[in-house]
Structure 1
Amino acid sequence: MKIALLLGTAALSLGAAAPLPPQKVDLLIRGGTIYTGSDAPFVGDVAVKGDRIVSVGAHARVLAARVIDAKGMIVAPGFIDPHTHMGDDLASADPRKRLIPAFLMQGVTTAFIGNDGGGSPDLAKVLGSAATRPVGINYAAWVGFGAVRERVVGEDARDPTPAELERMKGLVAGAMCQGALGLSTGLFYAPQSFAKTEEVIALAREAGRRGGSYDSHIRDESSYTVGLAAAIDEAIRIGREGGLPAHISHIKALGVDVQGQAPAIIAKIDAARARGEKVTANQYPWSASGTSLVASLVPLWAQDGGRPALLKRFDDPSLARKLHDGMVENLRKRGGAGKLLIVEGQYRNRYLDAVAKEMKLDPVEAAIAVIRIGDPGTVSFNQSEADIAAFMKQPWVMTGSDASGGHPRVYGSFARKYDKYVKTDHVITLRQFIERSSALTADTFGLEGRGHLRAGAFADVVVFDPRTYASRATYEQPALLAAGVRTVLVNGVLAVDKGAMTGKAAGRALAHKPAPGTCN
């Protein structure tokens, strides 16, 4: 009897019975050109129920509560930004800021925070914030070497004592067990720059043994201290000896002394990868970098002890010549006063050469006068398009923004990369852009269920118009929303609908899972 029933069931499955009724879903994105994150593009449908994708295919047989016509549009996984400075906005008391419209209107649905060594070791608090202050995008967080070092050692240029080093290691271990992605550093910046490589390795091991990664704004992207090549070597060494993947943030050749070195740097990283070492990078698609006026121009020795000590050095006649000469040299490396744009404070949107002319001072004296008032953000035009293109072509380089105030990269990095480097300059293909803006990042950092359009994945989806998707932000007007995004889903919720923000905050804090048995 059982055999007959099985045979009957088999016959029915081969077409003897009427087809099953269509599956009920919440949303169907119909007829777009789908890039899944890992497959060649095809025209088809994406069906969503709750916070998950239930089907991706040529012809979805579903009954949808809402159908979005995506004919002529690109449908892709929500983009993931591995390097941002959006932590304050994500924790803001202002619910509008927490939506992160600058990202959603580009199709960015997940961001990493705590980069450049700034991530708080209190990861439970950072990740727990989303429970009481809903956010518009998903986010994951690094524990920052700088935050840890300042908490234990302070801002002085010295090594930690053995006891202090143990305390720092404990803070990193604790943060990993609370969900940190790994350890981030900003070794270019004081006081992190005062640390020796061995100190960083000791902390990186704590992240590595718990399954984390090492993310670094390297010690020198130019010729300030050790030089670009040696800084890359150091990052690779930290990953190797720390026992964890190494990730180089906003990879570049910054300044006149190192422009043209991209091929040599690429060769170094390719050699490490050929040895089996896990080394990746992210990059923002702009020829101008962004930092502060102090970080741009003031020698590291003068930053020992923080801002109070720096201001005293400005007043010390015995240091005047040494300080002036050091700042002159750093200004030269960045291309001169006509390449340095101040983007905050009373001199906002003024180039340093114009400020100096107004003050009737030389550019360095003018910079010191500005720094006495504060330390404004700056944008400096210091990279060559040839280097940008060379890095962008590498399969291990993902899209990032380094989103920080006063720079158009906050509002336009992903859109600009498509518009300029895919559509106009043909540096990379559309498929490469999408996969290196989503799947590569998710897979590299272990974001389960993110970065791909597939059944069972979280429904983070962007639909954009390939004819109009572009950045509108400029260096003079950096806060203009991007154009061309039609629909954005975050965990299955419409965050952007018909090209406009819906105001819905469906983002989640993404805690990294530590390696089993390492947090007992």
Structure 2
Amino acid sequence: MKIVQKISALGVFVATSTTALANDVVLQNGRVIDPETGLDAIRNVAIQDGRISAISEFPLEGDIVVDATGHVVSPGFIDLHAHGQSIGDYRMQAMQGVTTALELESGVLPIGDWYDGQAAKSLPINYGAAAGWTYGRIATFDDTDPLATIEFFQDAQSENDWKMDIANQDQSERILSLVEQGLKEGALGIGVNAGYAPGYGQKEYFALAELANEYGVATYTHVRYASVIEPQSSFEALKELISNAAITGAHMHICHINSTSMADIEATLALVEEAMAQGINITVEAYPYGAASTVVGAAMFTGPDWRDRMQSTSENFQLGADRMTEDELADYQANKPGTFITWHFLDEAKPEDLAKLDMSVTHPSTLIASDATFWSYFDEDGNIQTYTGDAWPLPDNVFAHPRSAGTFAKILRSYVRERGVLSMSEAIRKMSLMPAQTLEDFVPQMRRKGRLQVGMDADIVVFDPKTIADRATFENANQPAIGIQTVIVNGGFAVRNGELVIGEAYGQPIRRTVAQ
């Protein structure tokens, strides 16, 4: 027997026969939502050889049949901004429906070494990275070679030259050469973590935009300033990014506009709208929290007026379950500047602050990305270490920002179900299709992701819209989301019956074609 297919009015292949060859997996009777075609209806979805093979109103046969009655069947969520890149990080992401997690803002170097290392980890979801400009800067100012580890970045936090000094000609050439080599090795663009090295020169950032345009890739920028006070304000930093995109023609992506804009989000979003209306090639992301995670020694927390610029004191900083005192802040900045802390820049309990956060999350041009941080723990000497083990559940003593476990579930709980400020289809668009479209012009793999259509990759999440919720808190982030029934990655189960599938590794590298 064979499947007889036709194209519906929505442009979706549907089976017209009540019988079909057995597929690997069939998702039965779920509310299927595809944000690209507008499909939102009860359908059956078949998966064969890692791809979606049929979407039908009629029964389909499968070796494995999953009853999705009462559940939403959606494209898997794509996280463009995930710093946690070990197996535990990916497992926690899978538990909230993420099927692809990419390290684009900070990036890494060398790219080839990083992909080789990831391939050895047997990861449950798809992975990829950009070429990290800060890695190139650290290596250049230290006169060393970059290492594709978070420790390489953290250990450099006690040094200020790579953060604050303008590179001379020789240094500039080496920084660009290291980044370009990353592109030649298949990087997904250029990560420009400028908030951590705000002393770079205008020419250096412009050269990065030119390089991105030359290779036809995007830059992903944490803009250099985070301040509500001029000069050197968030508004000024966004104008710098937009002008570089306009002049060079490069696609330039704005990372977490909520945390870099803080209370000035209305002005910065208006600037983004005007740039987009002029046809300037920029994209933008946000996450649904009023707190960021960063290193305590970050350059933005230095200078005599940083408290006024950031509207913050030590009370806005949280380490583990506790807020910091001024004495603790001074001690960590002097002696342990690479320590990751949580910085509360908006108070979601205040209606006026929540409205500012909502403005960034619900804007039609804003996609959702988590900025997920590493799971960490205190060693016997009281030093913070990155957790890279494979225990599941994660050990009780690890901690992170709650967005590492709950970003996408929080959108579906708070923004869709509880407050109704986003429709289900719009939320799914922001978490699947929009991230795929951000990359697909220069990463061909992404043209098959973020969609629930015949022929697309079988990266799929099935969740209960009545129960899906984030449980991670600032006091205890080590709590997986609930309400996820099934997560399928490239046709294989990452989550089944609400439980993580251990021992399977269906994640694949997302990588541009390596230059020969």
Asked if these proteins are the same fold (TM beyond 0.5), I'd say yes
Amino acid paired to 2:175 = M
Instruction: Supply the distance in 2 between the matched residues of 1:71 and 1:499 (Cα, whole angstroms).
Output: 15
Could you tell me which residue of structure 2 aligns to residue 500 of structure 1?
Answer: 499
Instruction: Supply the distance in 1 between the matched residues of 2:30 and 2:358 (Cα, whole angstroms).
Output: 29
Could you tell me which residue of structure 1 aligns to residue 271 of structure 2?
Answer: 268
Could you tell me which residue of structure 2 aligns to residue 33 of structure 1?
Answer: 31
Amino acid paired to 2:256 = H
Of residues 64, 68, 77 in structure 2, which corresponds to 1:70?
A: 68
Instruction: Supply the distance in 2 between the matched residues of 1:462 and 1:396 (Cα, whole angstroms).
Output: 23
Instruction: Tell me the alpha carbon deviations over residues 38-97 of structure 1, each in whole angstroms, 9 at most, x when there is no partner.
Output: 21311101100121111123225x32101000010000000000111023x15xxxxxx3
Could you tell me which residue of structure 1 aligns to residue 116 of structure 2?
Answer: 128
Q: Aligned-pair distance for 1:334? A: 3.6
Could you tell me which residue of structure 2 aligns to residue 279 of structure 1?
Answer: 282
Of residues 229, 236, 239 in structure 2, which corresponds to 1:233?
A: 239
Query: In the alignment, is the contact (CA less than 8 A) between 1:130 and 1:508 conserved in 2?
Result: no
Residues 1:151 and 2:139 are matched in the alignment: yes
Residues 1:215 and 2:233 are matched in the alignment: no
3-state SS, counterpart of residue 241 of structure 1: helix
Of residues 294, 298, 308 in structure 2, which corresponds to 1:295?
A: 298
Residues 1:341 and 2:318 are matched in the alignment: yes
3-state SS, counterpart of residue 215 of structure 1: strand
Residues 1:367 and 2:329 are matched in the alignment: yes
Query: In the alignment, is the contact (CA less than 8 A) between 2:288 and 2:357 conserved in 1?
Result: yes
Query: In the alignment, is the contact (CA less than 8 A) between 1:140 and 1:512 conserved in 2?
Result: no
Query: In the alignment, is the contact (CA less than 8 A) between 1:334 and 1:380 conserved in 2?
Result: no
Amino acid paired to 2:331 = A
Of residues 78, 95, 102 in structure 2, which corresponds to 1:105?
A: 95
Instruction: Supply the distance in 1 between the matched residues of 2:302 and 2:484 (Cα, whole angstroms).
Output: 43
Of residues 70, 81, 84 in structure 1, which corresponds to 2:82?
A: 84
3-state SS, counterpart of residue 226 of structure 1: coil
Query: In the alignment, is the contact (CA less than 8 A) between 1:81 and 1:400 conserved in 2?
Result: yes
Q: Aligned-pair distance for 1:326? A: 4.2
Could you tell me which residue of structure 2 aligns to residue 141 of structure 1?
Answer: 129
Unmatched segments (≥5 aa) in structure 2:
1-16, 143-159, 347-352, 375-399, 441-445
Amino acid paired to 1:453 = L
3-state SS, counterpart of residue 406 of structure 2: helix
Query: In the alignment, is the contact (CA less than 8 A) between 2:287 and 2:361 conserved in 1?
Result: no
Unmatched segments (≥5 aa) in structure 1:
1-18, 91-96, 301-324, 344-348, 357-362
Could you tell me which residue of structure 2 aligns to residue 160 of structure 1?
Answer: 167
Query: In the alignment, is the contact (CA less than 8 A) between 2:198 and 2:225 conserved in 1?
Result: no
Instruction: Supply the distance in 1 between the matched residues of 2:81 and 2:300 (Cα, whole angstroms).
Output: 23
Could you tell me which residue of structure 2 aligns to residue 197 of structure 1?
Answer: 202
Instruction: Supply the distance in 1 between the matched residues of 2:293 and 2:278 (Cα, whole angstroms).
Output: 33
**Cα gap change, 1:296/1:152 in structure 2, threshold over 3 Å: closer, same or farther?**
closer
Instruction: Supply the distance in 2 between the matched residues of 1:82 and 1:297 (Cα, whole angstroms).
Output: 23
**Structure 1 residues 369-408: aligned runs within 5 Å:** 369-375=331-337, 376-383=339-346, 384-405=353-374, 406-408=400-402
Instruction: Supply the distance in 2 between the matched residues of 1:441 and 1:41 (Cα, whole angstroms).
Output: 20
3-state SS, counterpart of residue 39 of structure 2: coil
Amino acid paired to 1:149 = R
Could you tell me which residue of structure 2 aligns to residue 249 of structure 1?
Answer: 255
Could you tell me which residue of structure 2 aligns to residue 16 of structure 1?
Answer: none
The percentage of aligned residue pairs carrying the same residue is 27
Of residues 440, 448, 455 in structure 1, which corresponds to 2:434?
A: 440
3-state SS, counterpart of residue 198 of structure 2: helix
Instruction: Supply the distance in 1 between the matched residues of 2:331 and 2:269 (Cα, whole angstroms).
Output: 40
Instruction: Supply the distance in 1 between the matched residues of 2:168 and 2:313 (Cα, whole angstroms).
Output: 40
Query: In the alignment, is the contact (CA less than 8 A) between 2:186 and 2:511 conserved in 1?
Result: yes
Residues 1:188 and 2:195 are matched in the alignment: yes
**Cα gap change, 1:56/1:130 in structure 2, threshold over 3 Å: closer, same or farther?**
farther
Instruction: Supply the distance in 1 between the matched residues of 2:354 and 2:271 (Cα, whole angstroms).
Output: 20
**Cα gap change, 1:328/1:284 in structure 2, threshold over 3 Å: closer, same or farther?**
closer
Instruction: Supply the distance in 2 between the matched residues of 1:71 and 1:199 (Cα, whole angstroms).
Output: 54
Query: In the alignment, is the contact (CA less than 8 A) between 2:226 and 2:300 conserved in 1?
Result: no
Find runs of 4+ consecutive structure 1 residues off by over 6 angstroms: none
Query: In the alignment, is the contact (CA less than 8 A) between 1:172 and 1:207 conserved in 2?
Result: no
Instruction: Supply the distance in 1 between the matched residues of 2:308 and 2:266 (Cα, whole angstroms).
Output: 25
Could you tell me which residue of structure 2 aligns to residue 319 of structure 1?
Answer: none
3-state SS, counterpart of residue 82 of structure 2: coil
Instruction: Tell me the alpha carbon deviations over residues 102-126 of structure 1, each in whole angstroms, 9 at most, x when there is no partner.
Output: 100100000111423xx22321222
Amino acid paired to 2:330 = I
Amino acid paired to 1:479 = N
Instruction: Supply the distance in 2 between the matched residues of 1:267 and 1:404 (Cα, whole angstroms).
Output: 29
Instruction: Supply the distance in 2 between the matched residues of 1:442 and 1:229 (Cα, whole angstroms).
Output: 27
Q: Aligned-pair distance for 1:350? A: 1.6
